[in-house]
Amino acid sequence: MKKIMFVAVCAMLLTAGFALGSTAPPLNISCEGTLCSGGGQLDYQYTLHNNIFNGPVTITEFYIGTQDLAISDYSNWIAPEGFTPTAVVAAWDVLGGGYNVMSTTGTETPHGVLPPQSTFASSGGILWTGNITLGVGETITFGFDNPNQSWDFQWDALTTTGTNAMGSIYVPIAGPTDTYTGGYVHSPVPEPATICLFGLGVLSLMRKIEAQRK
């Protein structure tokens, strides 16, 4: 009787394992930017990989959080055929309510290391849109140059099935080249001087609003 129960429990666990595997995110990512020693050719570079246990997957959107919303800081964009060659860089409210606000840790964690578990919302996103189908084990690469320092940021990829592949804070930082995980990636942050100017602008605006109230 005990033997029969043991076999039944094992069968249930195996069935549960296959069920969980079938709902796994369809994509992993490798963070390959040169500014964070990722081994790629551009300052910031990201390669999406269709997980080996899934079938073909069609991707329609790929975006990453960022603190650097100055489009003039970006150059030398790359994207796979079928996607916009230049990404949209904007605050979340400008991009629209259809996008998940990506988180950031506020620091740069090395590849393969678990990031700090404390996060806050990023200022905006870097968004590519298009349509491309990846076969099992195939990859596509996005990237750009930006001389500014990096932090850890969440990313998101949407497929035609409505399934999201999204960076998890509970997984080590993705990369370097050809090291795929479901973790956060590195993305640019403005220079400290730019941040100070932005802060002064916000402070000035708050003072004007307060003066108008009086």
49 pLDDT above the threshold of 70: yes
19 pLDDT above the threshold of 50: no
Cis, bond preceding 176 (omega within 30 deg of 0): yes
pLDDT in tens, 122-171: 999 999 999 999 999 999 999 999 999 999 999 999 998 877 899 999 99
70 pLDDT above the threshold of 90: yes
Question: What is the reported pLDDT for 212?
Answer: 54
User: How many Cα atoms within 13 Å fall on the side-chain side of residue 211?
Assistant: 6
Do 177 and 112 contact (CB within 8 A), yes or no? no
Burial of 88 (0-12, 13-18, 19+ CB in 10 A): middle
Place of tokens 């964070």: 36
Rounded-to-integer distance, Cα 188 and Cα 126, Å: 10
Rounded-to-integer distance, Cα 72 and Cα 130, Å: 23
pLDDT in tens, 80-97: 999 999 999 999 999 988
Q: pTM of the entire structure?
A: 0.79
Rounded-to-integer distance, Cα 46 and Cα 60, Å: 16
Q: What is the mean pLDDT of the chain?
A: 84
Question: What is the reported pLDDT for 26?
Answer: 82
